[in-house]
Amino acid sequence: MHQEGEYYIDHPPEVVFEYMNQPSNAAEVSPTLENSEGVRVADNGGWVVRAEYEVAGGIADGELILQPDAFEPEEKIRYTLDDDISGYVEWRFEEEGDGTMFTYEAEYTVEIPVPSFFMETVGRQITQRELDAIISNLRTQVDEYAD
C-alpha cells in the first residue's frame, strides 16, 4: 500500500520536526500505533523506535522496530519497517511562509491472511482515513506542543 500527501502545518519546521523526533509522539499522531518508545539513538542521530500496532480493527497486530535509515535534522526522517509490516515511512519538513509543508510518504506491505482483492479495495479506504487522521492529529498535537 502507498500513502502520500503534503500538508501545511502552521508552525516552523524546527517545531514540527522536534515534535515528530520524539519517539512517543508517533503513537499520538498515528491511529495505527498503540504506543511507541525510543530504544536507542542510531549512529545517524535518529531514534530506533519500538512500536506496537493494530491494523484494520485488529486484523493484524504486533510489534515493529523502526530503523532510521535517513535522518536530516529539521528536514527528513525516514524509517524502514521490517517485520509483519515491511516497507518505509518518511516525513519531510520544508519551510513555507511562517509554517511547514509536511510531506508524509509510506510504502508498506502488511502480511495478513486476507484475500488480495480485500486489501486492494478496503485497504485504499483504510489508508486514506489513516492519512487524514495522522494529519489532523499532527496539527492538533503540534499546536499543543508549541504553546
pLDDT 10s digits, 52-83:
877 655 555 566 677 788 899 999 999 988 76
Predicted local distance difference test score (pLDDT) of residue 142: 96
Q: Report the number of secondary-structure helices (H) and strands (E) in the chain.
A: 3, 7
Predicted local distance difference test score (pLDDT) of residue 9: 97
Predicted local distance difference test score (pLDDT) of residue 147: 83
Predicted local distance difference test score (pLDDT) of residue 131: 86
- Which runs of E-coded beta strand occur in the chain? 2-9, 33-41, 47-55, 60-72, 76-82, 85-96, 99-110
Predicted local distance difference test score (pLDDT) of residue 72: 92
Nearest in space to 130 (alpha carbons), one of 92, 89, 94: 89
Tens digits of residue pLDDT in 95-146: 999 999 999 998 877 666 655 655 555 555 557 788 888 999 999 999 999 9
Q: Which of 15 and 81 is assigned the larger pLDDT?
A: 15
| Residue type, position 104, single letter | Y
Q: What angle do CA 123, 125, 127 make, to 5 degrees?
A: 65
Predicted local distance difference test score (pLDDT) of residue 100: 98
